[in-house]
Each structure stands twice: as structure tokens, then as C-alpha cells.
Amino acid sequence: MANLLETIYTLWLREILRFVKSKARVVGSGGQPLIWLAIIGVGFGSAFTFSAGGGPSYITFMAPGIIGMTILFSSLFAGVNVIWEKQFGFLKEILVAPIPRVGIVLGKIAGSATVSLITALVILIVVVFAGIIPLSALSVFGVSVAVLFMIIISSIFVALGLIIASTINNIDGFNVVINFLVLPVFFLSGALFPLDNVPLWMRILAAIDPLFYAVDGMRGALIGLHTYPLYLDFAAVFAICVLFVAIADVAFRRMQSK
């Protein structure tokens, strides 16, 4: 157990230090979501409104979705690190080291998920201080639930990035796969528009999108607007998280045996 925890901590710390030392990544990971809020939120807000009946403004509705987008993009970036490590031989060294294999996967997930969580929390703080999500509407319980959703969905997409990277040996191929996945996952999450009146086929696809449940849960916790009860959203993302982490562990074990 001690060896497992030490492995997780070491790889977690490595990911944190790598993020801190990359100034471009720090600025880019926080800047892009704010641009989306400033341009898409204000622009679409002039055409759509949720104010009827005392509902939130469009930009307030959109804010939890942008937090979800931040987590999605930054979490999948973990896969790029795995490919670099495969090319430079670092991954081979840790795979043959006498350490628990599951510790490698958990350490990488913990480190990259922490990076995604930090970025998401910065965006949350910005939207609260900017008045996009009113401070008066928040509660300790609501913020705690939202942070819990952030942690779980970060782990899901980090694990997904690791699964994809374990089967691909070059960054170009990884980027093609990620670009194919990112936009459908994001738009089907309900981050930019409610899915109540969309066609049935789109609702079916949204039902298998883990980001949909995370955005719905965060939106319910932060602004009180949600499609499903919070416990159902939590159960869905937790089950998907366990599944993806298990698959990532198997993928890493198979990668070692190749």
C-alpha cells in the first residue's frame, strides 16, 4: 500500500510541476474559456434569453458549460504527455519499474485531473466575481457538489485521454482522434443550449455523453437549473469514471506487454 501511494504521489507531483513550468499552457487553459464566455455568451445572449419566468440570463446558463469545456479540453491533453513519454522512453522506464501498475494510471489521472480542477476553479472564481453567477445564489453545499462533479469528470476525460494515447504512437494521430471526439462531446453536453426540444436522436446521443451529466449536475448545483436530479447525475458520472479508470488500467497493462 505504501508503495502504491508513493507511486501515485510521485506521478501526481510530476504532472503538477510540469503544468506550473509551462507558462503558455497556464495562460492558454484559462484564456480560451474566458474568450468563449465573452464572445459566445454575450453574442448568443443577445439572441436567446432564459429570463422569462425569472430564469437565468443566457450567459449565466452557459457558465457551467464553459467550466465543463475547460475540464474537457485540459483533461484530454494528458494523452499528449503519454505519447511524448513513449517517444522519449520515460514511460517504458516506469512500466518496467518494480511499482504497482495501477499506481501509474492512478498517479497520472490524479495529476492531470488536479491540473484540470485548478483551471476550472479559476474560471468559476472569475465568473462569480464578474457577476455572471451571482454570489448570492451560491451556497457552500452547491459549490461543494459542483467541485465534486469537476473532480469526477476530470478523471473521466483524463482516463479517456490515456486510453486513446495507449493505442497511438504519434501526436498527429492522437490529435485527429481527439478533434473528432471533442466537439460532439461538448455540443451534446447541453453546455451552450438546452436539449429539451432537440430531436430524439440527439437526446439519445446526449444520454451517453458523460459531460452532459456533469454539466447538468454543475448547473443544478450552481444556479439551480437542471434536467435530472443531482443524485442521478452523480451516479452516472461516478459509474462512467470507475469504468474508464478500469479500462485505462487494462490499456496500460496491454501496452506494457507489447
Total number of domains constituting the chain: 1
For residues 254 and 170, the answer to whether their CB atoms sit within 8 Å is no
| Domain that includes residue 67, residue range | 2-41+56-257
- Helix axis angle for 101-129 and 230-257, nearest 10°, is 140
Which pLDDT tens digit goes with each residue over 18-70? 777 765 555 655 567 777 777 776 666 666 665 545 567 888 888 899 999 88
Residue 160: is its pLDDT beyond 80? yes
The answer to whether residue 47 is domain-embedded is: no
- Confidence label for 220 from pLDDT (cuts 50, 70 and 90): very high
Extract the C-alpha cell encoding 224.
439551480
Residue 252 lies in a domain: yes
pTM score of the predicted model: 0.87
Nearest residue to 85 (alpha-carbon basis) of 20, 15, 177, 180: 15
Whether 72 has a pLDDT exceeding 80, the answer reads: yes
Asked if residue 51 is part of any domain, the answer here is no
In 3D space, the residue among 107, 154, 101 whose CA is nearest the CA of residue 9 turns out to be: 107
Say if 109 falls within a structural domain.
Answer: yes
Mean per-residue pLDDT of the chain: 83
Q: Which of 17-26, 101-110, 142-151, 191-200 has the lowest mean pLDDT?
A: 17-26
Task: Please indicate, yes or no, if residue 50 is contained in any of the structural domains.
Answer: no
Residue 46 maps to a domain: no
Mutual angle of helices 58-76 and 140-167, in 10-degree steps: 40
Q: Indicate whether 49 belongs to any domain.
A: no
